[in-house]
Structure 1
């Protein structure tokens, strides 16, 4: 199954950068479990992997990609700078690239806003390292719209992506629109932790399509063009979560899932 992708700003070398709407998250998966999970995800068809310096699994992610046989240019890899590494941007990215066994990451994010007043300086280094070709695209995580606007104004470069906690109960059309008005892609993490998968609205839609509620949630993200990165250590669940190409939610079903936010 082919997963749709969203265009990001061109890389420094002028090449196109496309971010698959469905990715595989690796938070809290370490060691050989991380290696096996990423290999399983790649075998299932995922071509978007999300990790972070803070996760402590970049080496396993890199080793899994190298061993998978999937060409490097077919895998979109994201990693992130911890906020307490402000001032160590160059060294941190160099360490990430070495662990991941790549010459550049496809997306590098500031994981959380660093201590007050330091975001602009960190973002300046992100812009410089992107220009050097070490990150094809750059963005942020856990930022609000005002902070993103401030970065854009100070550096003249807008973050390509903001990765935030997201799911049906957190649906906010105004927030998504505000990001898009700035040219920022919204990427959601923890799609299931923020959702009651037993909610009748989800189970009813799932039954109508012959799928489970988790896949309804993932399909909802994709149809809203919000990137989503479910994670699991279960081979069966990893494969099932990727299997969302055989159905589509109707406008009424999309609205019913949107409405979950009004009940929480």
Structure 2
């Protein structure tokens, strides 16, 4: 498995996203991912699946220190004391003494990130988290968060795919040695049958999904956390580092479209 290196920290470049995975399906999916060599698992308080993620990790043969675990604090827990207490509850559910990365899941306009960061710094000083970051922060919010934070911001997790490539944010992350973690890197399923990706994939004997993930991980400082429950897709998603896309192919894949990106997001949210 390839890694992204930021601020001297190595993070597996492909992880498993667990949004909308609950119960036994979540447990079985995380277990399968670990079996296939995944060493990066992404969860959140809002997902209500930390217990299942933790059980899968406990039941696996993989050592805890070999797995990068990210969880996220809900915006309602953004105040310092709530950050600390809710994270301790997350650790109990995960069955671990620490998480590798703690993110604020969404900005909370009623709470200064300075206060959130103080809670994260306390957790880091107590050894309960290794690193801190944010999620769903646009460039200007990330810049302000970095200015206010008492703890280094390792990552910003955002929706990221060829229709929503976040050029300005990605460039800023590169300049500040910050990891951009891509959730929904397959555009909520909208790239599975994409003709451009299919055409390019034929040249490398790869699926459109594998091409999309290789496109994303080809950027500096970008890791991906696609979600799937299919064992075959889990295997395929990890097998993307044995080919390289040309600059021309990457340009063809990159097709910014706010309208298309939003439409796919809404379709997924509404179950259409």
Q: TM-score, normalised by structure 1?
A: 0.90
Q: Once structures 1 and 2 are overlaid, which stretch shifts more, 83-92 or 239-248?
A: 239-248
Compared CA separation, residues 170 and 129, structure 1 to 2 (3 A): same
Say whether 1:86 aligns with 2:78: yes
Contact 2:191 2:212 (8 Å CA) reproduced = no
Q: Which runs of 5+ in 1 are unaligned?
A: 11-16
Find the aligned partners of 2:93 and 2:6 in 1 and give their Cα distance.
25
Q: Greater shift after overlay, 61-70 or 85-94?
A: 85-94
Task: Deviation per CA, 1:190-209: give whole Å up to 9, x if none.
Answer: 11125433332211111111
- 2:209 paired with 1:214: yes
Correspondence 1:1-264 to 2 at 5 A: 3-9=1-7, 17-87=9-79, 88-193=82-187, 195-225=190-220, 226-258=222-254, 260-261=255-256
| Cα displacement (A) at 1:128 | 2.0
Quote the offset at 1:77 in angstroms: 0.4
**In 1, are the aligned partners of 2:114 and 2:150 still within 8 Å (CA)?**
no
Q: Distance in 1 between matches of 2:199 and 2:88?
A: 48
Q: Partner of 1:207: helix, strand, or coil?
A: helix
SS at 2:170 equivalent: helix
Deviation at 1:40, TM superposition (A): 0.5
Alignment: residue pair count: 255
Unaligned 5+ segments in structure 2 are 261-272
Q: Is the 8 A contact 1:158 1:183 kept in 2?
A: no
TM-score by length of 2: 0.88
Deviation, 1:167, is 0.3
Separation of aligned partners in 1, 2:113 and 2:21: 28
CA distance in 2 between partners of 1:143 and 1:154 (Å): 14
